Amino acid sequence: MGRIYRKPGFLRSLNQAWRGMMYTVKTQKHVQFHLFAGSAVLLLAWWSEVTRLEWLILILAIGSVIGAEVMNSAIETVVDMVQPNFHPLAGMAKDIAAGAVLVTAIQAVVIGFVVFLPPLLRLASKMF
69 is catalytic: yes
Largest alpha-carbon pair distance within the chain? Answer: 81
Is 47 annotated in some ligand binding site? yes
The active-site residue out of 34, 45, 65, 69 is 69
Is 125 annotated in some ligand binding site? no
Return the H-helix or E-strand segment holding 32: helix 29-48
Q: Where are the beta strands (DSSP E) in the chain?
A: none
Is 69 annotated in some ligand binding site? yes
Is 49 annotated in some ligand binding site? yes
Residues 59, 52 contacting (CB under 8 angstroms): no
**Which residues are part of the catalytic machinery?**
69
Q: Which residue ranges are tagged as binding site for substrate?
A: 47-50, 69
Q: Which residue ranges are tagged as binding site?
A: 47-50, 69, 76, 94-95
Q: Which residue ranges are tagged as binding site for a divalent metal cation?
A: 76
